Amino acid sequence: MKRDELQSIDEILQGKVEKVQHRKEWRHFLAECIVTVVSVYVIFQYVIGIAFVSGSSMEPTLKDRELVVFYRLDETYQRDDLVILRMPGDVEYIKRIVAEPGETVEFSEDGKLLVNGREQTPEEAMGVTAALSEDIAYPYTVPEGSYFVLGDNRENSRDSRSFGAVKQGQIAGRVFLHMGMTR
């Protein structure tokens, strides 16, 4: 074979090798993209969630249209946790836990929240706290596996005063981050 023919064959082989390498790089890139998309899906479907505040029931802590990020894998909650609730009709609420299972909730005549007979004066609460529903008798003992939740804007909130304690299974997660963003 002549030198020119060998050089031509070498160039052809080099081109084929580059194509194969390019295909491998492309497949590797595609596999990385698929793994990333699946990972992000799994994280946002099963580990953390995102919600937007709608309304003023959590003011002054959370404002209308703020973005909140919540952790879905909690199994226990405590007083002062901000939680996402899943209510019938696929309605979601963001509320604050004010009483845990076995605790007693009542309201004083001057609009104060009492838990186990002790006045609760959270800094984040706004407005007078009063019983809203005649269907709930006070003092009210929170059933096992349930939590009593209130909005921080006590005069403008649909919460446990209206619908009673929420079961742990209705809690979608605990809010761990909120940002003043607009949609």
Under a CB-based contact definition with an 8 Å cutoff, are residues 142 and 150 in contact? no
Dist CA 87 CA 95 (whole Å): 12
> What type of residue sits at position 136?
I
* Catalytic annotation, residues: 57, 95
Query: What is the distance between the alpha carbons of residues 13 and 155, in angstroms, rounded to a whole number?
Result: 78
At residue 49, the 3 state secondary structure works out as strand
3 state DSSP class of 60: coil
Q: CA-CA distance, 71 to 47, in Å (whole number)?
A: 6
